[in-house]
């Protein structure tokens, strides 16, 4: 699958962690957690990479470009995966899109 | 295996469990409301027994070091503690996710500003019914309805993440949809539709609270409809009423598996109601560290794993899913904390429990025995309840 990343509109979508949701690294378990109301998400390595890039200023496109560089993958494909992941979290009110 | 052997089994037979996820910090048993289903014990800790600020701060340090992620400031009414903002700030400083479980009643609005400023992550505000008269009568406090609406407005002004807590029973089960609408109106991101669990004051008032099976089914259908309608906007978590259930709840996610509960006086408990189980030795935070209690405390190890189980749990395919249900409910209803929770349809007592629930639901009693420091008459002794001959396997 290949989409035109520039034309996808993902440059205008800027994900942010809402108030009441926090990403933290737990030293005792040596892993990342996304914490929200009565929720403890244990992201896998890829998901943790995405979440760590969310700062309320980076767009989905920028996040995808960053990850594509890191994993030597197609940015458009990565962007689609990132968007699917973020939509799922947004549906659970764990992220704002 | 006899109960005594179960309880006295050395802790060393267990592999160490993973660290706990949550700490329920019951800062006080004081509360302006007097809800007849309160999960607090019948014998409440008075103010002069409450742990001081310095001890709670030490416990928050120990909790973070132990690997606890969430702290739930609860009670009683945690906002009645003059040090509440200080404790929230300290919990944030050590990296804990901070939850406040409040009635909204009995404190000044400025206290809410202070905990928001201290970095509170999430607040849970209770509402007792969707009409002012029932709301105030269930809480035993005139003006609670109006006060809660004011607090909800303050929470919205402060931008705090809000969950609405609705405890469901016979008198408000028909209002399930209205509770969801209220959560939307208040700008909540989440609502708990939590059917009463019959422990503590709840079991004393069971005949006054137990819904009919038809009410429960209707309420569950209302939840499903609301979930579809509010998908993506509102998270609806539902705690089921278990007397009518087919299988019991996985109480606390397993005994000593996920949560630690500290009473106002500093007793460390595997759950709210654990002190109703005779023969368990509970540690206090004055004597041992949270880590030592979690990993090596006798009470926390009493029902870990599955070795303590009897039949039908022992050979059940679901034993690692629901852990035989709730130990405190097994104690209350079967008179044996290591029995199968009678909420389970595989329990030899289940038919009797369902019949009891149906009879109580039809009783039309509404003379609540309100929660208070005066205590309550002990719940009716159901310990004589024995399996019906026809139900024996």
The DSSP 8-state label assigned to residue B276 in this structure reads G
Residues of B annotated in the binding site for [4Fe-4S] cluster, as ranges?
31, 35, 38
Among B97, B161, B232, select the one facing A91 at the smallest CB separation. B232
Please report the pLDDT score of residue B375 as a whole number: 87
For residue A24, what is the nearest residue in chain B, using CA coordinates?
Answer: B95
Report CA-CA distances (Å) from B220 to B192, B240, B358.
Answer: 13, 8, 18
Q: Is B375 left (phi over 0), alpha (psi -120 to 50) or beta?
A: left
pLDDT band at A12 (very low <50, low <70, confident <90, very high): confident
Quickly state the pLDDT bin for B11 (edges 50, 70, 90).
Answer: very low
Distance, CA of B85 to chain centre: 23
What pLDDT, on the 0 to 100 scale, is given for residue A7? 61
Asked if B160 lies within 8 A of A20 by C-beta distance, the reply is yes
Q: From CA B163, how far away is CA B35, in angstroms rounded? A: 19
CA distance B213 to B287: 46
Question: Could you report the per-residue pLDDT of A26-73, keeping only the tens digit for each?
Answer: 998 999 999 999 999 999 999 999 999 999 999 999 999 999 998 888
Percent of chain B residues topping a pLDDT of 70: 92
* Position B2 pLDDT exceeds 50: no
pLDDT beyond 70 at A4: no
pLDDT digits (tens, 9 = 90+) for B299-340: 999 999 999 999 999 999 999 999 999 999 999 999 999 999
CB pair distance less than 8 Å for B160 and A90: no
Which CATH code, of 1.10.10.1150, 3.40.50.300, 1.10.10.10, 3.40.50.880, is assigned to A18-91? 1.10.10.1150
Q: What is the band of B246 on the pLDDT scale with cuts at 50, 70, 90?
A: very high
Which residues of chain B neighbour A40 with C-beta distances below 8 Å? 21, 69-70
Task: Give dist(CA B247, CA B343) in Å, integer.
Answer: 7
Give how far A79 is from chain B: nearest CA, Å. Answer: 21
pLDDT at residue B385, as a whole number:
55
- Say whether B161 and A40 touch across the interface (CB within 8 A): no
Q: Is the pLDDT of residue B95 over 70?
A: yes
pLDDT at B3 over 50: no
Give B72's strand partners.
Answer: B24, B99
B19, B99, B234 member nearest A28 (Cβ): B19
CA distance linking residue A81 with residue B69, whole number of Å: 28
For strands B97-102 and B259-262, give the pairing: unpaired
Q: Is the pLDDT of residue B265 over 80?
A: yes
Most confident segment among B182-191, B271-280, B373-382:
B182-191
Q: What is the pLDDT of residue A67?
A: 93
CA distance B72 to chain A (A): 10
Residue B17 has pLDDT above 70, yes or no: yes
Instruction: Specify binding-site residues of B.
Output: 31, 35, 38
Which chain B residues touch A91 with a CB distance below 8 Å? Answer: 231-232
Query: CB pairs under 8 A, 24+ apart, for B346-352?
Result: B346/B312, B346/B316, B347/B312, B348/B387, B348/B388, B348/B391, B348/B392, B348/B393, B349/B385, B349/B387, B349/B391, B350/B391, B351/B388, B351/B391, B352/B385, B352/B387, B352/B388, B352/B391
DSSP summary character for residue B218:
H
What are the DSSP calls for A59-70, one per residue? Answer: -HHHHHHHHHHH
Residues near B356 by beta carbon (within 8 Å), at least 6 away in sequence: B243, B382
Please tell me the predicted confidence (pLDDT) of residue B380.
57
- Verify whether the Cβ–Cβ distance A20 to B189 is below 8 Å: yes
CB neighbours (10 Å) of residue B384? 7
Q: Share the mean pLDDT of chain B.
A: 92
Of B18, B95, B163, the CB nearest to A24: B95
pLDDT-wise least confident of A11-15, A93-97, B102-106, B230-234: A11-15
Q: Do A91 and B231 touch (CB under 8 A)?
A: yes
B377–chain A Cβ distance below 8 A for any pair: no
Residues of A within 8 A of B119 (CB-CB) are: none
User: Mean of the pLDDT values across residues B62-67?
Assistant: 97
Q: How confident is the model at residue A9 (pLDDT cuts 50, 70, 90)?
A: confident
- Alpha carbons B389 and A79: distance in angstroms, whole number: 64
Give contacts of B183 with chain A, Cβ < 8 Å: none
Q: Copy the structure tokens of residue B27.
A: 């800062």
Query: Considering CB atoms only, which of A20, A28, A33 is closest to B121?
Result: A20
Q: Is the pLDDT of residue A77 over 80?
A: yes
Tell me the nearest-neighbour CA distance from B280 into chain A, angstroms: 29
pLDDT of residue B303: 96
**Domain ranges for chain A:** 18-91
Helix, strand or coil for residue B261? strand
Interface test with A, best of B118, B161, B194 (most A CBs within 10 A): B161
d(C-alpha B379, C-alpha B390), whole Å: 27
Contact of A94 with A41, CB cutoff 8 Å: yes
pLDDT at position B364 is 85
Contacts of B233 in chain A (CB under 8 A): 93
Confidence category of residue A11, pLDDT binned at 50, 70, 90: confident
Mean pLDDT of B21-36: 97
A18, A22, A92: residue with CB nearest B97: A22
**Is the C-alpha dihedral spanning B59, B62, B64, B69 positive or negative?**
negative
């Amino acid at each position: 699958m290949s989409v035109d990343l520039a034309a996808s509109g993902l440059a205008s979508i800027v994900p942010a962690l809402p108030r009441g949701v926090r990403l933290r690294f737990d030293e005792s378990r040596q892993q990342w957690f996304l914490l929200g109301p009565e929720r403890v998400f244990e992201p896998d390595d890829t998901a943790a990479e995405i979440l760590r890039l969310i700062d309320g200023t980076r767009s989905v496109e920028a996040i995808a470009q960053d990850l594509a560089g890191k994993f030597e993958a197609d940015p458009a494909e990565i962007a689609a995966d990132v968007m699917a992941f973020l939509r799922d979290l947004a549906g659970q009110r764990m992220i704002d899109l | 295996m006899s109960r005594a052997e179960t309880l006295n089994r050395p802790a060393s037979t267990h592999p160490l469990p993973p660290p706990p996820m949550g700490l329920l910090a019951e800062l006080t048993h004081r509360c302006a409301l007097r809800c007849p289903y309160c999960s607090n014990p019948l014998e409440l800790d008075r103010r002069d027994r409450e742990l001081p600020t310095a001890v709670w701060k030490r416990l928050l340090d120990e909790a973070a070091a132990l690997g606890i992620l969430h702290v739930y400031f609860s009670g009683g009414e945690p906002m009645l503690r003059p040090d509440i903002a200080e404790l929230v700030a300290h919990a944030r400083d050590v990296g804990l996710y901070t939850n406040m479980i409040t009635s909204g009643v009995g404190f000044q609005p400025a206290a809410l500003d202070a905990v928001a400023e201290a970095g509170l992550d999430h607040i849970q505000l209770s509402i007792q019914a969707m009409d002012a008269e029932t709301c105030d009568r269930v809480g035993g406090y005139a003006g609670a309805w109006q006060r809660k609406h004011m607090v909800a407005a303050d929470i919205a002004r402060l931008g705090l993440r809000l969950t609405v807590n609705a405890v469901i029973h016979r008198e408000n089960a028909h209002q399930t949809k209205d509770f969801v609408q209220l959560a939307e109106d208040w700008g909540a991101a989440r609502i708990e539709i939590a059917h009463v669990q019959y422990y503590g004051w709840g079991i004393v008032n069971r005949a006054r609270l137990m819904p009919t099976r038809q009410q429960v089914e209707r309420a569950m259908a209302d939840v499903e409809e609301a979930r579809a309608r509010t998908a993506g906007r509102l998270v609806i978590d539902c705690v089921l009423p278990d007397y009518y259930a087919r299988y019991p709840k996985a109480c606390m996610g397993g005994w000593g598996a996920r949560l630690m509960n500290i009473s106002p006086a500093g007793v460390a408990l595997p759950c709210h109601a654990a002190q109703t189980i005779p023969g368990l030795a509970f540690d206090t935070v004055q004597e041992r560290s949270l880590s030592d209690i979690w990993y090596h405390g006798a009470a926390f190890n009493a029902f870990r794993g599955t070795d303590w189980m009897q039949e039908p749990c022992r050979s059940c395919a679901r034993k690692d899913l629901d852990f035989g249900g709730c130990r405190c409910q097994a104690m209350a209803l079967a008179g044996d904390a290591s029995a199968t929770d009678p909420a389970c349809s595989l329990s030899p007592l289940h038919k009797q429990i369902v019949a009891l629930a149906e009879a109580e639901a039809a009783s039309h009693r509404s003379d609540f025995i309100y929660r208070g420091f005066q205590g309550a008459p002990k719940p009716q002794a159901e310990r004589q309840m024995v399996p019906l001959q026809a139900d024996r396997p």
